């Protein structure tokens, strides 16, 4: 298992559009993906679960990834967490 913490830089936080992109990307990897924010851990492959986190701008989010292709998943999903979406 690997994990890394990221800061959300998108001024509007992690809303529906970036969440959809994140979940679609996460679902392409065969590993288990958890997202942790403010002490709450959810399945990173579930849009509804991700939206319940209510991730705002400048908040820290930790990715925990376990299984096959975990390094590739961490790299791809980390880029999405730190991107500025419109």
Catalytic (active site) residue 15:
yes
Q: Where are the domains of the chain?
A: 2-81
- What pLDDT digit, counting tens, does each position of 55-80 carry? 999 999 999 999 999 999 999 999 99
Which of 15, 43, 47, 85 is catalytic? The answer is 15
Q: State both tokens at 66.
A: 């376990």
Q: State both tokens at 8.
A: 């959300």
**pTM for the complete prediction?**
0.93
Number of CB atoms found within 10 A of residue 39's CB: 5
- What pLDDT digit, counting tens, does each position of 36-51 carry? 999 999 999 999 999 9
Determine whether domain 2-81 maps to CATH 3.30.1340.10. yes
Rounded distance, CA 41 to CA 64, Å?
A: 9
- Any idea which residue has 């800061």 for tokens? 7
């Amino acid at each position: 298992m690997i994990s890394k913490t990221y800061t959300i830089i998108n001024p509007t936080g992690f809303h529906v559009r970036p969440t959809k992109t994140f979940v679609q990307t996460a679902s392409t990897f065969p590993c288990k993906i958890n997202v942790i924010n403010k002490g709450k851990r959810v399945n990173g492959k579930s849009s509804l679960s991700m939206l319940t986190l209510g991730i705002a701008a400048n908040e820290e989010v930790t990715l925990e990834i376990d299984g096959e292709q975990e390094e590739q998943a961490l790299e791809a999903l980390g880029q999405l967490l730190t991107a500025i979406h419109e």
